[in-house]
């Protein structure tokens, strides 16, 4: 489900501003966040949270509210990063325990 929303989000970004520059930015973002995305899929409930966060971005874009869309994208990336880092820290803590 979240993958479908992510694809729709990327298609919408390209439809709104499908210039070569925007295409490069979207490609770069996908490359930069790719590993984060892979790791996040291993976390319980992260897929559902990502789907919800994608929907908030899409809704802002549909309303043509660029500031809200940008804020929501930044929040999504930050929350995903925080969840992955917390899971890594938790895993390291468990490894250190006898």
Complete DSSP assignment for 49-64: HHHHHHHHHHHHHHTT
> What does pLDDT average to over the chain?
80
Is pLDDT at 24 greater than 90 in this prediction?
no
10: containing domain: 2-96
Give the burial class of 9: count Cβ atoms within 10 A of its Cβ; 0-12 exposed, 13-18 middle, 19 or more buried. Answer: buried
How many folded domains does the chain comprise? 1
Using pLDDT thresholds of 50, 70 and 90, give the confidence band for residue 1. very low
- pTM for this prediction: 0.69
Widest CA span in the chain: 55
Percent of the chain with pLDDT over 90: 8
- Sign of the Cα torsion 50, 53, 55, 60 reads negative
């Amino acid at each position: 489900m979240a993958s479908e929303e992510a694809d729709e989000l990327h298609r919408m970004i390209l439809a709104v501003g499908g210039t070569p520059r925007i295409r490069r930015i979207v490609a770069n973002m996908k490359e930069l966040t790719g590993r984060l995305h892979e790791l996040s899929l291993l976390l319980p409930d992260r897929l559902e949270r990502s789907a919800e966060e994608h929907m908030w971005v899409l809704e802002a874009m549909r309303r043509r509210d660029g500031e809200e869309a940008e804020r929501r994208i930044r929040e999504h990336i930050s929350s995903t990063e925080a969840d992955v880092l917390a899971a890594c820290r938790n895993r390291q803590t468990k490894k250190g325990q006898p």
